[in-house]
Amino acid sequence: MILIPAIDLKDGQCVRLRQGEMDSATVFSDDPAAMASHWLALGARRLHLVDLNGAFAGKPKNSAAIEGIIKAVGIDIPVQLGGGIRDLDTIERYLDTGLRYVILGSAAVKDPGFLHDACDAFPGHIIVGLDAKDGKVAVDGWSKVTHHDVVDLAQRFQDYGVESVVYTDIGRDGMMSGVNIESTVALARALHIPVIASGGITNLDDIRALCAVAGEGIEGAITGRAIYEGTLDFAAGQRLADELIA
């Protein structure tokens, strides 16, 4: 079980949102590369980046900050990125800079053919991000809830060859109200590829709860606001996870 620090990028700064609302952004750093180096020094084994402006614009908007982060951490740890990725050329450009994984969310849900093509063109590098509310997948910055059942869609995308699924309970994200363990486990049990939990991690109790079900197929957990606001000590959380899973 790995803890994955989130670096959400808005206007070149490291921010966090509450439930995906752009006007609720809290700025935590104006130097994302330094922040990435900080988490690496504390023992991070992967980084999760989101181009928030890109997600809303439908095209990359924080490329300079993203490239700076990749240069800062080098090949020491894999970096994954979502937001504003809508075509194969963009995926290729990012992978060429050293990015390890590309996360496709709304684009995958709205255009499954694109996801299928991406998995074929870049095997082992494509993660699908599924954001759900009450079991239904949401798109377009969580502004629209579709009729798609998250488990059914994940199983379909699994067959395309995605590397893993990042699952976010949008009711929990940025709210520090605890992880939706039940829904995360239900999804993981339905798949044979790993699930990465996202949304709601607050403290060490959430780490314990996730580690208790890690054997169901939960590979890691993305954490953002908690490690920036200090309710979760990142290094202590990773140590605890290592102890519990050992």
Catalytic positions, please?
8, 131
Report DSSP letters for 125-161, one per residue. Answer: -EEEEEEEETTEEEETTTTEEEEEEHHHHHHHHHHHT
Task: With H, G, I as helix, E, B as strand and everything else as coil, classify residue 111.
Answer: coil
Q: What share of the chain is helix, strand, coil (3-state, %, to 5)?
A: 40, 30, 30
Q: What is the 3-state secondary structure (H, E, C) of 173-223?
A: CCCCCCCCHHHHHHHHHCCCCCEEEECCCCCHHHHHHHHHCHHHCEEEEEE
- Residue 6, C-beta contacts closer than 8 angstroms, at least 6 positions apart: 16, 48, 49, 50, 198, 222, 223, 224
Whether 223 contacts 3, CB under 8 Å: yes
Find the radius of gyration of the CA atoms of the chain: 16
Q: What is the DSSP letter of 101?
A: E
